[in-house]
């Protein structure tokens, strides 16, 4: 148990510089597509996906989440196929169990480092039938990942634009016009590890076919 805590502390220490940089250290190491069973598949490898704050939150007994979106875009950036899924990262403090809960069920891992390793790898996710692609047209793959402590969602909530204040014999609800219009031009919010990766480009005729 003590060894596990020391390992976690070391992991957090190693990850600290990455997290202080606002999760900017997370990156896509490789992203590639291939054909198998007449379907287009994608594999992606990330680095430093689990930032310090998410790791710290999981370590404290509360959960974190990794949300993935992998898309195939055609000419004019039209989305032809898209897969989205979410992994919930949990740590049972009392049983000292680290669990990744995803659409395919639970996977138990040995610790935070193993958790980081598992979530950092997308291995052959099935995207769309090859028959929907033209052999000589150029397509490309996009990958979006968001890692957050405290799980659940970080959707575009109305609460970001609405504020309520009471007290002093009056209550008011304001709808912030600037934010609603401004969100069209805003980037991501601070404190989140968020990757939006564009590429690679491929032509179906030249794709590797795997058994």
- Residue 87 CB: number of other CB atoms within 10 A? 20
Distance CA 130, CA 126 (A): 11
Asked if 89 interacts with other proteins (CB under 8 A), we say no
Question: Which ranges of 79-157 does DSSP label H, i.e. alpha helix?
Answer: 112-119
The per-residue b/e assignment along 48-84, b for 16 or more CB within 10 angstroms, e otherwise, is bbbbbbbbbbbbeeebbbbbbebbbbbeeeeeebeee
From the list 33-41, 68-76, 98-106, 173-181, the region that binds other proteins by CB under 8 A is 173-181
In whole angstroms, the minimum distance from the beta carbon of 98 to other proteins comes to 14
95 or 104: whose CB is closer to other proteins?
Answer: 95
Asked if 188 interacts with other proteins (CB under 8 A), we say no
Asked if 172 interacts with other proteins (CB under 8 A), we say yes
**Residue span 130-169 as binding mask against other proteins, x where in contact by CB under 8 A, dash where not:** -------------------xxxx----xxxx-xxxx-xxx
175 or 209: whose CB is closer to other proteins?
Answer: 175
In whole angstroms, the minimum distance from the beta carbon of 92 to other proteins comes to 9
Distance CA 20, CA 10 (A): 16
Asked if 189 interacts with other proteins (CB under 8 A), we say yes
Whether the ω angle into residue 123 lies within 30 degrees of 0, i.e. cis, is: no
In whole angstroms, the minimum distance from the beta carbon of 107 to other proteins comes to 20
Please check whether residue 97 is in contact with residue 40, taking contact to mean a CB–CB distance below 8 angstroms.
no
Tell me the pairing of strands 105-109 and 97-102. Answer: antiparallel
Please check whether residue 62 is in contact with residue 140, taking contact to mean a CB–CB distance below 8 angstroms.
no
Considering only 16, 24, 35, 62, the residue that binds other proteins (CB under 8 A) is 62
Considering only 2, 3, 155, 170, the residue that binds other proteins (CB under 8 A) is 170
Binding residues for other proteins, per CB under 8 A?
53-54, 56-57, 59-63, 93-94, 149-152, 157-160, 162-165, 167-179, 189-192
């Amino acid at each position: 148990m003590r060894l596990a805590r020391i390992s976690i502390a070391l992991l957090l220490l190693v990850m600290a510089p990455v997290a202080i940089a606002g999760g900017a250290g997370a990156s896509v190491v490789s992203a590639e597509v291939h054909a198998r069973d007449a379907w287009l598949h994608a594999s992606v490898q990330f680095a430093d996906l689990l930032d310090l704050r998410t790791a710290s939150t999981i370590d404290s007994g509360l959960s974190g989440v990794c949300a993935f979106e992998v898309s195939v875009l055609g000419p004019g950036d039209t989305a032809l196929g898209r897969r989205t899924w979410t992994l919930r990262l949990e740590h049972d403090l009392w049983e000292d169990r680290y669990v990744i809960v995803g659409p395919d069920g639970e996977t138990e891992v040995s610790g935070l480092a193993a958790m980081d390793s598992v979530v950092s790898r997308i291995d052959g996710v099935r995207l769309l039938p090859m028959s929907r692609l033209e052999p000589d047209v150029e397509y490309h793959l996009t990958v979006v990942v968001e890692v957050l402590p405290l799980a659940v969602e970080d959707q575009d909530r109305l609460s970001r634009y609405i504020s309520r204040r009471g007290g002093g014999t009056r209550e008011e609800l304001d709808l912030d016009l600037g934010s609603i219009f401004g969100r069209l031009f805003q980037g991501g919010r601070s404190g989140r590890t968020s990757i939006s990766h564009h590429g690679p480009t491929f032509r179906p005729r030249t794709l590797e076919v795997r058994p």
